[in-house]
Structure 1
Amino acid sequence: MAIRNHTSIADFLLLGFSEHPEQPPLLFGLFLGMYLVTVLGNLLIILAVVADQHLHTPMYFFLANLSLIDTCFSCTIVPKVLVNILTQHHTISHTGCLVQMYFFMALALLDNFLLAVMAYDRYVAICLPLHYTTIMCPQHCLLLVAASWLCAHLLAFSLTLLMSQFSFCASHSIPHFFCDLLPLLKLACSDTQIFQVTMFAEAALSGVVPLACVLVSYAHIMHTILKVPSAGGKHKVFSTCGSHLTVVTLFYGTLFLVYFQPSYSYSADTGMVASVVYTMVTPMLNPFIYSLRNRDIKGALWRLSGWRR
């Protein structure tokens, strides 16, 4: 029992990219560049929305929240990866691992919920324009964001609490670059049946339900677009929704690839590649996707920089 208790609190080894010793300088430079672009790009979006009165609308309020979440999401994962690559010291404490897993899950769930909220906002704006100001009033927007934060943290806390009860009496080497659910689950020597049932139930609640909301919203939007007589009107609607659909596709595509599969079929290599996409690439691309396709954001950034177009 003493050995069991000792091993349950031992440090973990985040093997990550350590199997390729010739690549650390390249990976460090690549990940550092992506991290700086992610943080700077998302902070610029937040600053533009806060500073420009023209962007004080529900759509940009949700976008600023998404940028904040992406910034925090990246800060939860990438700094530790950079330290591990630079120092070749791959250990992380049991507590540190659980804390990282908690914030990773909470912020990923927040992305799920907020993308659904943004789809609903577009649905109301396009399909119910006369009721938009009433339905998407500031109080309702705050309520939607607050509910997303609360649900995400409650779901993440429940899984983290269950994971904290496990004993890890086998190898403590995690074949990943951060403390993700499935790699940790494969190391547990406790009975994980309750955890797996809870995890799949929460995945259905936090993944399938928001995605269904997105799909239903866009089905109604497409139906409305087909009724628009002018090509210019259709192009304007597509332009408004295109950025959001691109982000949804990137985010959900990689999440479904990793998490909607049985734990016994989990592949470390596939999981790491997909994880790099949704932990580093997607948060980095979001500011570009929203700013390059959005005249209001580009105008706000120009005004923020002091230039006039």
Structure 2
Amino acid sequence: MENTNDTTGINFILLGLLNYTQIHIFFFSVVLMTFLTSLMSNIFMIMLIRMDSRLCTPMYFLLSQLSLMDVMLVLTVVPKMVGNYLMHIRSISSAGCGAQIFLFVTLEGGECFLLAAMAYDRYVAICHPLRYPILMNQKLCLHMTAGSWLLGGVDGLMQAGVTLSFPYCHSREINHFFCEAPSLVRLACTDTMIFEFFMYICCVLMLLIPVSFILASYGLILITVLRMHSAAARKKAFATCSSHLAVVGFFYGTIIFIYMRPKSYRSVAHDKVVSAFYTIFTPVLNPLIYSVRNKEVKGALRMWLEKYFQ
């Protein structure tokens, strides 16, 4: 039975991702375990980078910011989803909905630009290793990180503000498990075509500009690696970049699937599943990929384990 308070006019209703069947209860357990694993692994990655002096480089500083964004992303979406499911309620206030839109867009947008900054870091490290301390200095690293947060925040503020300014005079049932601007705009009882057009253009820019920069960086990296005479050097360069490329592939693949498909190809059910993948499951993959594929992270982890468990 759903809580009757869900029908209040001041709240939106999140229809959610899961029902109360046996198979969905199993999926809920998987989501909860993935959330806890993501939270602990990303926090541990941040702490490991801060504690180990060998990881005090621009590459790992950017990685710690990626983990911070992932922690905030799962905290933005999953606790409300879990609370509603366990308490058999589906309501969310307008303020809560606006906060979810703002934080979600800020973090997703920030991560787009942060991944581009990480690609530039790899480009400089492999193509200009002798000039790395100059081209990738601490000041530039801080500027790129701050710019990623700022650009994501501006986009999030605009989307949240405009979305909540529309009148919602009919159904307030959002067919999603969290407040996402496209799902909310479908409920507005006014013409939103102009806003949807600008939101689409904004998403294209927020995705394609960083993706183009990443592809250009890795194109130059590939040319440099193929010119290397040492097989060991080529292997090391590919190993260094493969972790970042795996994260980029998971992240951008799901985002582009959600935001850049024509409306005629969209399915609400499919969108919810893909959204669950990049908001719940992708954040747990990032620390796993970087720890498994990175010798320096594995070395720092081994030293930490030996220090505290021997």
Bucket of the pairwise TM-score, normalised by the shorter protein: over 0.9
* 1:211-236 superposed Cα distances (whole Å, 9 cap, x missing partner): 10010000001111110112211110
Given the alignment of the two structures, is residue 195 of structure 1 paired with residue 190 of structure 2, yes or no?
no
How large is the RMSD of aligned CA atoms in angstroms? Answer: 1.8
Q: Which amino acid aligns with 1:268?
A: V
* 1:149-199 superposed Cα distances (whole Å, 9 cap, x missing partner): 111101111111111211112221111111112211211112212311221
Q: By how many angstroms is 1:97 displaced?
A: 0.7
Kept in 2, the 8 Å contact 1:8–1:167? The answer is no
* 1:286-308 superposed Cα distances (whole Å, 9 cap, x missing partner): 11100011111111112223349
Q: Which amino acid aligns with 1:102?
A: F
Supply the distance in 1 between the matched residues of 2:75 and 2:242 (Cα, whole angstroms): 27
1:90-239 to structure 2, matched below 5 A, reads 90-239=90-239
Secondary structure, counterpart of 1:279 in structure 2: helix
Supply the distance in 2 between the matched residues of 1:167 and 1:305 (Cα, whole angstroms): 55
- Match of residue 292 from structure 2: 292
- Match of residue 270 from structure 1: 270
- Match of residue 45 from structure 1: 45
Kept in 2, the 8 Å contact 1:182–1:266? The answer is no
- Match of residue 282 from structure 2: 282
Q: By how many angstroms is 1:204 displaced?
A: 2.1
Q: By how many angstroms is 1:25 displaced?
A: 2.7
Q: Which amino acid aligns with 1:153?
A: G
Kept in 2, the 8 Å contact 1:159–1:195? The answer is no
Most deviating of 168-177 and 116-125: 168-177
Q: Which amino acid aligns with 1:61?
A: F
Supply the distance in 2 between the matched residues of 1:228 and 1:209 (Cα, whole angstroms): 29
> How does the TM-score come out when normalised to structure 2?
0.93
When the two structures are aligned, how many residues end up with a matched partner? Answer: 303
* 1:13-33 superposed Cα distances (whole Å, 9 cap, x missing partner): 111235554445313311110
Structure 1 residues 19 and 33: CA distance shift in structure 2, 3 A? closer
Structure 1 residues 20 and 271: CA distance shift in structure 2, 3 A? farther
Most deviating of 113-122 and 8-17: 8-17
Structure 1 residues 236 and 115: CA distance shift in structure 2, 3 A? same
Identity between Structure 1 and Structure 2 (%): 40
- Match of residue 3 from structure 1: none
- Match of residue 80 from structure 1: 80
Supply the distance in 1 between the matched residues of 2:289 and 2:18 (Cα, whole angstroms): 32
Supply the distance in 2 between the matched residues of 1:207 and 1:17 (Cα, whole angstroms): 26
- Match of residue 4 from structure 1: none
Q: Which amino acid aligns with 2:225?
A: I
Most deviating of 184-193 and 51-60: 184-193
Supply the distance in 2 between the matched residues of 1:295 and 1:304 (Cα, whole angstroms): 14
Most deviating of 178-187 and 58-67: 178-187
Kept in 2, the 8 Å contact 1:182–1:263? The answer is no
> How does the TM-score come out when normalised to structure 1?
0.93
Supply the distance in 2 between the matched residues of 1:187 and 1:262 (Cα, whole angstroms): 19
- Match of residue 70 from structure 1: 70
Supply the distance in 1 between the matched residues of 2:97 and 2:148 (Cα, whole angstroms): 24
Supply the distance in 2 between the matched residues of 1:241 and 1:8 (Cα, whole angstroms): 51
- Match of residue 3 from structure 2: none
Structure 1 residues 143 and 217: CA distance shift in structure 2, 3 A? same
Kept in 2, the 8 Å contact 1:126–1:221? The answer is yes
Q: Which amino acid aligns with 1:106?
A: T
Listed as ranges, the gaps of 5+ residues in structure 2 are 1-6
Supply the distance in 2 between the matched residues of 1:269 and 1:160 (Cα, whole angstroms): 23
